[in-house]
Amino acid sequence: MLGLGLIGGAATGAWLTGDSSAGTARSPYAAARTAWHSVPVDTLFPPTLKGRGAGPGGTHRDWTRLAVAADSPCEEGLDPLLLTTLRSVGCERLVRATYTDATRSAVTTVGLVFTEADAAGMQALRTRFTEQKLGARRDLMPRTYAPRGTPAASFGAGQRASWTVAPLTEIPVVVLAVSGFADGRPVAEPQPAAEAVAPDAATDIAQAGLGHEAKGIADRVERGLRRAVADLTEQPG
């Protein structure tokens, strides 16, 4: 069952923030901060995603949404160490969905952490991730969302294979995704998506395209969010 905010967004197809006034454009930060409940769920997490050139060797990918988790506090959806790492920017809300590829051999949970930070705070977090290479730390992998009765039902902590965590700077959001095999096989040596998509990557994870799954889905959800925020910040005609 979806969270009330997402249900309301999906039902109305409109943004419901109530602090919008005719003739007044909103800043990207103000608009994005409320997007978790003001943007329709099918806009945040489309039922299908197209990934032209998003697979290994530039192959095309298509992904189908399996389920959307109820919006939640970050404490319910992030491991404690990742939550601690993001504490400097605060957490307004976490929304997540899980997708599978066309062959139903891979599953990916993608999430959006809506923060309480300003532009300086998000830039500081992004700098920290870059300088300390936090995106490559296995102990900072996102959690999975494994909806029952779907190909992702056995997608747990031990099945996490590749991941990405990306703080944005233009809007107060952290985009994250984690992928794995749909057959539930355990993964002993997870690999960051940035490494798994390298042309010379030869691990089983890389060869299976799981880095491309995590990165491709995260990228497309991020693009959709940016478009939605741009729509919310347009000056009314």
Are β-strands 61-68 and 93-101 bridged in parallel, bridged antiparallel, or unpaired?
antiparallel
pTM of the complete model beyond 0.85 = yes
> How many whole angstroms separate alpha carbon 128 and alpha carbon 125?
5
- C-alpha to C-alpha distances, 159 to 162, 191, 219, nearest whole angstrom: 10, 12, 22
236 pLDDT band, cuts 50/70/90, is low
pLDDT per residue over 189-222, tens digit each? 999 999 999 999 999 999 999 999 999 999 999 9
234 pLDDT band, cuts 50/70/90, is confident
Q: What is the mean pLDDT of residues 139-158?
A: 97
pLDDT per residue over 51-60, tens digit each? 887 777 777 8
> For the chain, first and last CA: distance in Å?
37
pLDDT of residue 68: 98
Q: What is the mean pLDDT of residues 97-108?
A: 96
Would you tell me how many other CB atoms lie within 10 Å of the CB of residue 25? 13
User: Are the beta carbons of 229 and 31 closer than 8 angstroms?
Assistant: yes
pLDDT of residue 10: 35
Of the candidates 175, 184, 179, the one whose C-alpha atom is nearest the C-alpha of residue 219 is 175
Q: Which residue has the higher pLDDT, 9 or 224?
A: 224
pLDDT per residue over 34-49, tens digit each? 999 999 999 999 999 9
Q: What is the mean pLDDT of residues 143-155?
A: 97
pLDDT of residue 25: 58
User: Are the beta carbons of 208 and 39 closer than 8 angstroms?
Assistant: no
Does the pLDDT value for residue 168 go beyond 90?
A: yes
Strands (E), the chain: 48-51, 61-68, 93-101, 106-114, 162-167, 173-181, 191-192
Does the pLDDT value for residue 102 go beyond 70?
A: yes
Q: What is the mean pLDDT of residues 145-163?
A: 97
> How many whole angstroms separate alpha carbon 194 and alpha carbon 91?
25
pLDDT of residue 82: 96
128 pLDDT band, cuts 50/70/90, is very high
How does DSSP classify residue 138? G
Of the candidates 137, 132, 163, 148, the one whose C-alpha atom is nearest the C-alpha of residue 69 is 148
